Amino acid sequence: MSDEAAIAGGGSVLVVDDDPFIGRLLEIELRASGYDVRVASDGARALEMARENCPELVLADVMMPNMDGFELTRQLRRDSRTASVSVIMLTTRGLSEDKLLGFAAGADDYIVKPFDTPELLARIRGVLRRAKEMRQQSPLTGLPGNVRIEEEIEQRVQKGAEFAILYADLDHFKAFNDHYGFLRGDQAIQVTARLIQATASERGGPDTFVGHIGGDDFVVLCDAAEAEEIAELLAQRFDAAVPDLYDDDDRERGRIAVTNRRGEMQQFPFLSISIGVATTAHRSFEHFAEAVAIATEMKMYTKLTPGSSWAVDRRTS
């Protein structure tokens, strides 16, 4: 099935809800809009169905017996067969901490019941459209790469726009990669990309831009006034999500053991994220490289602090 068909209607959707009335209602509405729909009554059955034939979108209720929507999403993200599926959570609770849990688990969007059918369909189209755009970009994260990042920064510099650049990368990623292997390392990068996108989309304005420099390095461009809130929320969400990247034994210990080049066993803490921020709120930039250099400097500075953290350049010259 083509990407265009998926966006206009005709994509595959797995509906997961323990209420048969809601499940049937969603099935009818989605089929009428041209989607190929399957229905599961609980998270465990939905996980089996997704692994057998991965849909383009999972529309899952949060509160379900046996396996709730949060755990279902975490399990989908951990499995290479389903890691890239889009997930929208449905819930009767609209508290900010519930949304945080959903995004930390790996959800792409979050809708509070009761909802209007037009709104639901619009959110589904939006999630599938973003997934299509991601597939056209990096095969790992779907985010724009170095050339596009440079163009975006230079465009804002030349316009004299008020903006901030957030340069983020992961701490202890090499140790994680050595311990778990490249596949798990790629999954960690994908989780990070989704968290950054979700946070930037939620708290940033319409001109917010997210790019993947490569490896475990990312860039966010946003309005200068939004930078600190995005950085703080991203650090919080990353710390909430990162334990799920580890095996149970390592999660209980809170660290991993990796053999270094000298054959010695070395202990490493969990992954954390360091974010350096350069902003026109304090100075102007003459060239994209200047903005990147300052953000990089602040990122290296914040790496001196254990755990996830961020730092803003407040110098005026």
Same domain, yes or no: 88 and 157: no
Quote the domain boundaries for residue 99: 3-135
Query: Residue 300: is its pLDDT beyond 50?
Result: yes
Is the pLDDT at 3 greater than 50? The verdict is no
Cα separations (Å) of 283 from 106, 149, 185, 300, 311? 36, 20, 37, 20, 16
Q: For residue 278, what pLDDT is reported?
A: 96
Let me know if residue 49 belongs to a domain.
Answer: yes
- If 0-12 CB within 10 Å is exposed, 13-18 middle and 19+ buried, where does residue 222 land? buried
- Distances, alpha carbon 120 to alpha carbons 41, 59, 113, 190, 231, in Å: 20, 10, 10, 25, 29
Question: Has residue 317 been placed in a domain?
Answer: no
Domain boundary among 113, 135, 157: 135
**CA–CA separation, 115 and 185 (whole Å):** 37
Query: Is residue 140 a part of any domain in this protein?
Result: no
What is the CATH number for 126?
3.40.50.2300
pTM confidence score: 0.59
**In this predicted model, what pLDDT tens digit does every residue of 39-97 receive, in sequence order?**
999 999 999 999 999 999 999 998 888 898 999 999 998 886 788 789 999 887 766 67
Give the CATH number, domain containing residue 172: 3.30.70.270
Does residue 93 fall inside a structural domain? yes
290: in domain: yes
The reply to whether 125 and 156 lie within a common domain is no
Residue 164 has pLDDT above 90, yes or no: yes
**Are residues 162 and 306 both part of a single domain?**
yes
Structure tokens belonging to residue 23: 């499940």
Q: Based on the domain organization, do 128 and 197 belong to the same domain?
A: no
pLDDT at 5 (0 to 100): 39
Same domain for 154 and 292? yes
Give the number of domains in the chain: 2
pLDDT recorded at residue 7: 40
Per-residue pLDDT reduced to its tens digit, 192-232: 999 999 999 889 988 899 999 889 999 999 999 999 999 99
